[in-house]
Structure 1
Amino acid sequence: MTGSDATNPHVTVDVVLPCLNEEAALGWVLGRMPEGYRPIVVDNGSTDRSAAVARDLGAEVVHEPRRGFGAACHAGLLASSAEVVCFMDADASLDPAQLPRVAGAVLGGGSDLVLGRRVPRTAGAWPLHARLGNAVLAANLRRRTGASLRDLGPMRAARRSALLALGLSDRRFGYPLEMVLRAAAQGWRIEEIDVDYLPRAGRSKVTGTVRGTLRAISDMRGVMAATRPR
C-alpha cells in the first residue's frame, strides 16, 4: 500500500469477484472499477466466456476448480497481495464505483471490517423472500455478535492479513457469515455503510432457484452451529 486515503489514486486495493457465468455483467462491473482498485476475477467453473472477457478487460483471472462461493472467495483472497481486500459480487447488482465508501474506514484505520448494507434502488432488485430471510439472519447476527448489522452485505472490506488469520473454513455459501462471526469473536470493529443494490444481470444462483436458496440456508445454519458466539 502507498497510502491510507480511499480517494488517493495511488492506493491499491484488491477486489475479489467470485464469478460463475457472468459474461454479460463483467463489462459493466470492470468498467466501473475505481482507479487504484485491482479486480481479481475468480472463475469458479464458468461455461461461458467469463474468464476470457475478464482477462481481455485487464482483470487478473484466477481459476478455482472447486465449486462453491466460499471456495472462490478464498482463492481470490489467497491470490491478493494488497494490504486491504474488498469482496463483491460480479453480477452487476453492486456498483464498483461505491467501493471507496466501503474501504474508506478500513484504509483510514477506523474499522476492521466494513459491510455494504444493500439499499434497493428499484422494486425488483431484491425479492421479498430474500429480503425477509436476510432480515432474520441479520437479527441473529446482532444477537450473536453485538454488531449493529442490518444486512449480511456481499460488498465488504478488511485487511488481508487479518482475514487470513481468521482461519475461515467454509467453502460454500456460509463463507460471508463465517467471516462476520469469527471477526466479532476476535473483537473486530465492524460497521455498515449504505450502498446501492441494483437488479442483477441474469438469474441469481441463490435467490433465483429453490435449490440455491435451500443450500444457502443449510450452509449458514451449519456455520452458525459451528462458530462459537463471542
Structure 2
Amino acid sequence: MTIDVILPCLDEEAALGWVLGRMPDGYRPIVVDNGSTDRSAEIARDLGARVVHEPRRGFGAACHAGLLVSSAELVCFMDADASLDPAQLLRVATPVLDGRSDLVLGRRVPQTAGAWPPHARLGNAVLAGNLRRRTGAPLHDLGPMRAARRSSLLALGLTDRRFGYPLEMVLRAAAADWRITEVEVDYLARTGRSKVTGTLRGTLRAVADMRRVMAEIRPG
C-alpha cells in the first residue's frame, strides 16, 4: 500500500536531503513548495519527491494543496525541517491502517535541550489542555506529524489556510466523532530557524490564527 506524505516547505534546502533520504518504503513524499527562495524545489525533485507549487502563502495552504493532489488512501503530514524523523511515520500511520484510530498525532518527545524552546512548549501545552477539555480527545501535543484517510479529511471541509489548519483539523475531526489518538515520536533540533517559534512575528501570527479558529469552531 502506498501512503502519501505531505511536506509543506519554505526554504528547507538544508534539511530536505536528510528528510527525503529517511522516507520509509511505500511512503511517497509530496513536497509543497510555498514560495521558497532557495533550491528546495529543485533538491526535492532531484531526490525523487513530487513537487507541488502553492503560490498562496500559508502553512494551511501548503498542507491542503498537498492533500488535494494526493491520490493515496492514507496520507501523512510532517514538517520538512528535519525536526521529525520520517522513519517514525509508521508509528502514526499504523493505528489508522489497523482501524484503531481515525486521526493519529505524533506527540513530540524532545531529544535535545534545544529542540523545543520553552515558550513554544508552554504554549503548546496550554493549547493541548484546551483541546482535551473541548473535545475529550486524549491529546498532549498538537503534533505536526499525523495520519488520516484522505477522503475523510476532505469531507471535513477544512477552510483555514494559515497556522490554524492543524488545529481546525482536530476540532472538526472531534466534532465528527472521529477516534483521535496520539503516539510518541522523537523531536529533534530543526535545521535552520523556525518560521514560527524562531521569530516573534511568527509566534504571534500562529497564536492569532489558532485563537481565531478556536473562536470560530464551537463545540458541537
Band the TM-score falls in, shorter-chain normalisation: over 0.9
Aligned partners of 1:111, 1:135: CA distance in 2, in Å?
Answer: 22
Give the distance between the partners of 2:11 and 2:206, measured in 1 at CA.
19
- Per the alignment, in what secondary structure is the counterpart of residue 204 of structure 2? helix
Q: Which whole-Å CA distance do the structure 2 matches of 1:169 and 1:60 have between them?
A: 24
Say yes or no: does 1:38 pair with 2:28. yes
Structure 2 gaps, min length 5 = none
Matches of 2:171 and 2:219 in 1, distance apart?
A: 7
- How far the C-alpha of 1:108 sits from its partner, in A, is 1.0
Structure 1 stretches of at least 4 aligned residues deviating more than 2 Å after TM superposition? none
Match of 2:65 in 1: 75
Letter of the structure 2 residue corresponding to residue 206 of structure 1: V
Partner SS for 2:79: coil
Equivalence for 1:181: 171
Matched residue, 2:157: 167
AA paired with 1:23?
E
Give the CA deviation at 1:144: 0.6
**Percent identity for Structure 1 against Structure 2:** 84
Deviations 1:142-172 (A, max 9, x none): 0110001000000000000000000000000
1:115 and 2:105 are equivalent in the alignment: yes
Three-state SS of the structure 2 residue aligned to 1:110 is coil
Q: Gaps spanning 5+ residues in structure 1: where?
A: 1-10
CA-based RMSD of the aligned residues comes to: 0.4
TM-score, normalised to structure 2, is: 1.00
- Measured against aligned partners, the alpha-carbon deviations of 1:178-211 in whole angstroms (never above 9, x if no partner) come to 0000000000000000000000000000000000
1:1-230 to structure 2, matched below 5 A, reads 11-230=1-220
Quote how far apart the aligned CAs of 1:121 are. Answer: 0.4
User: Displacement of 1:228 after TM fit?
Assistant: 1.7
Q: Distance in 1 between matches of 2:81 and 2:205?
A: 19
Count of equivalent residues: 220
